[in-house]
């Protein structure tokens, strides 16, 4: 019996498997290099890069909460120029796909970064972060209105030599409308969801836990929200989707794919178990074998109705 095919094609790019690391949870790849075999990943999404270096918010920046965490790191990063000179050389040595996450506070800033990255090597795709909840102004307007999402996407599409993945926020009234606007603007694919706005309060001191007061909630607590958003957007657009939000293992990958994602990013899980992505890719082989599926792409968007059973060979009680 041959091993099931884990390879997934997205925007003309072949990914070894559907597992990516989410921006902000994997540094620039180097931090995990002594720990896991990075070539086991479908790809790495790097920490958000802005035009200028950013120190980030004063601590405390993170707060552990039930089933997840709230963070307000504040887009701390080395800036695009140092990213190209200091981080790209390492990324070039890796045998996996590299997706660079770009953030900004104006179209001009995004444009500067994209043009600078156009000259770099080793990059397969850009993820445009228009949805960071932890910065005071700028970026969010692009994900909170259809006009903004269309504008940033169409502007960057004109100049990027890479396919564009637009990262959407769940903190909007109608994510499907924003997704359609990005699609009309020329997005090659969409990733969703970014973190949900949350906060923590110290009931003894009456003070907020985070210096920034609010932050982004991530981790397994948000997986049901993320699944719902991916499913809604899958029904609203034709371009491929990348699911993000609380994935911990191979079953979560399968669930995101079933509701419409082609790839799945692992975020907070990297903090819990640094080898979660490698274990998930191994687990997918076993899952597909047990399911009688020989190609993982067969999962994408195959959500059944209440009375249908799409999968095969499912264990009678597993997952209940």
Partner 1 sequence: MAVLQDKSGASPGSQGARMIFNPPVELVEKEMLLPDLCRLKLHAPLIAKRALPGNFVQIKVSDSLDPVFRRPMSIHNCEDETFEMVFRVIGRGTQLLAEALPGRKFDCLGPLGNTFEIPETDETAVMIAGGVGLPPLYFLSRFLIERHRIEPSRVLFLLGIRDKTELIVGADAEKLGVEMKYSTDDGTHGFHGFVTALFEDIYARRLRNSKMRVYSCGPTPMMQALSRIALSFKLPCQLSLEGAMPCGVGTCLGCAVKLRAKDEYLRVCQEGPVFNAEEIEL
Q: Which of residues 62, 232, 297, 298 is near partner 1 by CB under 8 A?
A: 62
Instruction: Give CA torsion, residues 25, 286, 257, 20, to 10 deg.
Output: 20
Catalytic residues, by residue number, are 132
Residue 61 C-beta: closest distance to partner 1, Å: 5
Q: Which of residues 63, 142, 231, 287 is near partner 1 by CB under 8 A?
A: 63
Residue 249 C-beta: closest distance to partner 1, Å: 12
Rounded Cα gap, residues 142 and 88, in angstroms: 27
Q: Which of residues 68, 133, 148, 200 is near partner 1 by CB under 8 A?
A: 68
The pairing of beta strand 97-102 with beta strand 196-199: unpaired
Q: Which of residues 13, 27, 151, 297 is near partner 1 by CB under 8 A?
A: 27
Task: Say whether residue 273 binds partner 1 (CB under 8 A).
Answer: yes
Task: Say whether residue 26 binds partner 1 (CB under 8 A).
Answer: yes
User: Which of 8, 20, 60 lies closest to 288 in space, CA to CA?
Assistant: 8
User: Which of 154, 132, 135, 155 lies closest to 143 in space, CA to CA?
Assistant: 132
Task: Say whether residue 213 binds partner 1 (CB under 8 A).
Answer: no
| For partner 1, the closer CB: 115 or 249 | 249
The SS3 assignment for 264 reads strand
**Considering only 125-133, 176-184, 199-207, 264-272, which stretch makes contact with partner 1 by CB under 8 A?**
264-272
- Euclidean distance between the first and final Cα of the chain, in Å? 29
Give every CB contact of residue 280 below 8 A, 6+ residues apart in sequence.
Answer: 19, 247, 248, 249, 250, 252, 253, 266
Residue 74 C-beta: closest distance to partner 1, Å: 9
Q: Which structure tokens are listed for 194?
A: 């970014």
Residues in contact with partner 1 by the rule CB under 8 A? 24-27, 31-32, 34-35, 55-56, 58-69, 71, 73, 76, 219-220, 268, 270-275
């Amino acid at each position: 019996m041959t091993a099931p095919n884990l390879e997934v094609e997205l925007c003309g790019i072949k990914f070894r498997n559907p597992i990516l690391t989410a921006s902000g949870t994997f540094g620039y790849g180097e931090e995990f290099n002594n720990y896991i075999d990075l070539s086991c990943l479908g790809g790495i999404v790097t920490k958000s890069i802005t035009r200028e270096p950013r120190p980030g918010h004063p601590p405390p920046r993170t707060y552990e909460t039930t089933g997840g965490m709230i963070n307000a790191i504040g887009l701390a990063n080395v800036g695009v120029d140092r990213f190209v000179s200091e981080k790209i050389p390492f990324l070039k040595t890796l045998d996996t796909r590299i997706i660079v996450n770009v953030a900004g506070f104006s179209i001009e800033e995004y444009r500067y970064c994209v043009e600078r990255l156009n000259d770099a090597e080793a990059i397969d795709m850009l993820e445009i972060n228009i949805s960071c909840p932890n910065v005071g102004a700028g970026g969010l307007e692009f994900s909170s209105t259809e006009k903004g999402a269309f504008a940033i996407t169409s502007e960057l599409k004109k100049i990027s030599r890479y396919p564009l993945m637009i990262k959407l926020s769940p903190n909007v009234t109608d994510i499907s409308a924003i997704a359609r606007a990005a699609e009309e603007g020329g997005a090659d694919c969409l990733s969703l969801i970014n973190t949900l706005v949350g906060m923590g309060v110290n009931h003894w001191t009456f003070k907020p836990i985070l210096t920034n007061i609010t932050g982004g909630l991530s981790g397994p607590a948000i997986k049901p929200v993320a699944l719902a958003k991916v499913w809604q957007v899958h029904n609203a657009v034709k371009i491929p989707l990348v699911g993000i939000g609380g994935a911990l293992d191979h079953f979560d990958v399968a669930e995101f794919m079933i509701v419409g994602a082609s790839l799945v990013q692992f975020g907070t899980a990297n903090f819990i178990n640094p080898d979660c992505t490698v274990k998930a890719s191994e687990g997918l082989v076993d899952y597909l074998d047990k399911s009688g599926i020989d190609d993982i792409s067969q999962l994408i968007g195959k959500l059944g109705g209440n009375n249908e059973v799409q999968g095969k060979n499912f264990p009678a009680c597993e997952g209940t």
